[in-house]
């Protein structure tokens, strides 16, 4: 999802992480999709805003409020992001809700139909990250995908050679950072949280996963993530 705010990591997280690493062997890895296996989501959003002449201030204003609420405590069932990611509203409904809050630079309205497709039209695969998960999967490392869906299509034809389990938020009625979706993903791999590395580009999701016993890797670039994951799993990458 478009990154607007990040949540601070609690001081106790590092202690918990060290404890879980000491008592359990890391065996598998679960990853986010957008912004990890693709280029940064902000790149796609910025390209969309520029291409359509959308007033950036109107976008930032609405998304700051929605994202802050989406990562606040409690269920916040009226939040549009919650509804979209859990599959509780249609793409069309979300698109119209967002379009109503946006305005073009010339003061005109933003078209709702097809908004999500246009927003993520600039999304491209990060081939280095795709190769990493192909290699891990081929080497027998349990691998999983855990993605908060924003209505976009996934290249599912690639999944069999990358993942042992796939969890898309809108298909299971759960979303990150809800604890139950992390546990569901680990369970599909037949692993305990303490046996899993979790990779995401949103710190609030990393924090939530670590509080359950996962070992978090906050993604910023393919090289750094690959080195960190390989070190944690004690595997060699050619």
Q: Which pTM does this prediction carry?
A: 0.87
- The CA-based diameter of the chain, rounded to the nearest angstrom, is 59
For 15, list phi and psi in degrees, rounded to 5: -65, -45
Give the tens place of pLDDT for each residue, 205-235: 999 999 999 999 999 999 999 999 999 999 9
Give the tens place of pLDDT for each residue, 179-196: 999 999 999 999 999 999
Domain definitions of the chain by residue range: 12-39+123-233, 42-119
Mean pLDDT throughout 122-135? Answer: 97
Which CATH superfamily includes the segment(s) 12-39+123-233? Answer: HAD superfamily/HAD-like (3.40.50.1000)
Burial class (CB in 10 A: 0-12, 13-18, 19+), 67: buried
Give the tens place of pLDDT for each residue, 23-65: 569 999 999 999 999 999 999 999 999 999 999 999 999 999 9
Cα–Cα distance, 23 to 18 (Å, whole number): 9
User: With 60 as the cut, is the pLDDT of residue 82 above it?
Assistant: yes
Mean pLDDT throughout 118-133? Answer: 97
């Amino acid at each position: 999802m478009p990154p607007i705010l990040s949540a601070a990591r609690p001081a106790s997280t590092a202690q918990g992480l060290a404890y879980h690493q000491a008592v359990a062997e890391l065996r598998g890895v679960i990853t986010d999709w957008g912004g990890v296996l693709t280029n940064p989501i902000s790149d796609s959003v910025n390209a969309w805003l520029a291409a359509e002449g959308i007033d950036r201030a109107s976008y930032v204003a609405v998304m700051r409020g929605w994202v802050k609420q989406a990562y606040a405590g409690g269920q916040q069932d009226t939040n549009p992001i919650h509804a979209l990611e859990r599959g509780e509203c249609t793409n069309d409904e979300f698109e119209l809700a967002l379009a109503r809050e946006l305005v073009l630079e010339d003061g005109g309205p933003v078209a709702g139909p097809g908004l999500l497709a246009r927003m993520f039209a600039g999304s491209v695969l990060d081939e280095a990250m795709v190769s990493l998960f192909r290699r891990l999967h081929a080497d027998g490392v349990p691998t999983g995908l855990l993605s908060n869906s924003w209505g976009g299509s996934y290249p599912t034809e690639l999944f069999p050679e990358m993942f042992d389990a796939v969890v898309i938020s809108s298909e299971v009625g759960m979303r990150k950072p809800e604890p139950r979706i992390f546990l569901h993903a680990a369970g599909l791999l037949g692993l305990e949280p303490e046996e899993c590395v979790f990779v995401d580009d949103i710190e609030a999701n990393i924090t939530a996963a670590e509080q359950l016993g996962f070992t978090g890797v906050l993604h910023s670039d393919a090289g750094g993530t690959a080195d960190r994951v390989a070190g944690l799993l004690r595997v060699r990458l050619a």
